Amino acid sequence: MTSIWDRYPDLSPSELRNLVAATAQVLAGSADRSELPADPIEISTGEAARELTASIDMLSADERGVVQELLEDDDTAIELCHVVLGEVRRHPELASAVAQTYEERSRKMTGAELLLLAGALVVLATRIKEIRAGKGGTKITFSESGEVVKAFLAGLVASLRGLG
């Protein structure tokens, strides 16, 4: 059976939104809840920006607006999502759990995901240290991946400093 990862990154916008949502579901469900804000997938971009500026040393609190803009801009939000998805893909058990959730979502008679949940995905990726994924509950250290995402986001913010 083919997996959504077989076609990655050549996905339609709708497929990408669904993959991001499925990844957020898996990350939120596999991590220690005490590490996460309440209902992390429901988080707004404003809240996500506040979380990110508070938890990433390379960002300051007054850059919250910039982070929010990055999460709301189509191009940068997609870039951020690809960075997280790229990290997820590096862990086969995690990637497999995401693919399974993606497939399960496609069995539902619901409309497709209409929002790109970039804020939720980035917050989850940067907050989670460890994940238990797959049937055996394999322990995956995700903190290094989180650092990659933090550095990428900080780089995006830095590139905008002084442009205002």
Partner 1 sequence: MQARVASHASTVRVGDLRVAMLHYGVGTEHVYATLIDEDGSPRSTRLAAVEQVAQPVERLSRMLRAPTRYPPAELTEALHGFSADWGRRLLPPPEVLAGYDVLVVVPHHFLHDLPLQVVRTGDADECIANRFGVSFCSSATLLQRAAGRNPARADGVAQWRFPLTAGAGGSDGAPDPPALCCALGVDVLGGDARYGELARSCAGHFPDRRLIMSRDGLKSPVVRQADVICLVCHGVTNAQEHDDSGLLLVAQPGSRSELTIALHLGQPFFFRDLPLRYLPPQLEVAPQFQSGQQPELMTITEVRTLVETRAQLVMLLGCSTATGQLRSGDSYASLAYQWLQAGAVSVLGHQWEADFPFVAGWVPVFLDNWVRRRQPKAIAVRDALNRVLDDGLVSRDALHLWGAVVLLGDWI
* Site residues for partner 1 per CB under 8 A: 12-14, 17, 21, 25-26, 28-30, 39, 41-42, 101, 104-115
Task: For partner 1, give the closer residue by CB, 1 or 163.
Answer: 1
- Token pair in block for residue 78: 């997609």
3-state secondary structure 26-37: HHHHHCCHHHCC
- Minimum Å gap between C-beta 12 and partner 1 is 6
Task: For partner 1, give the closer residue by CB, 138 or 147.
Answer: 138
Distance from C-alpha of 150 to C-alpha of 4, rounded to nearest angstrom: 25
Alpha carbon of 113 to those of 21, 42, 102, 133: distances in Å?
Answer: 8, 13, 11, 23
- Minimum Å gap between C-beta 64 and partner 1 is 23
Task: For partner 1, give the closer residue by CB, 6 or 39.
Answer: 39
Distance from C-alpha of 92 to C-alpha of 19, rounded to nearest angstrom: 15
- Token pair in block for residue 57: 């040393």
Of 33, 28, 24, nearest to 81 by C-alpha is 24
CB contact at 8 A, 121 and 81: yes
Task: For partner 1, give the closer residue by CB, 110 or 159.
Answer: 110
- Minimum Å gap between C-beta 109 and partner 1 is 4
- Minimum Å gap between C-beta 155 and partner 1 is 28
Task: For partner 1, give the closer residue by CB, 56 or 99.
Answer: 99
- Minimum Å gap between C-beta 159 and partner 1 is 28
Distance from C-alpha of 146 to C-alpha of 40, rounded to nearest angstrom: 16
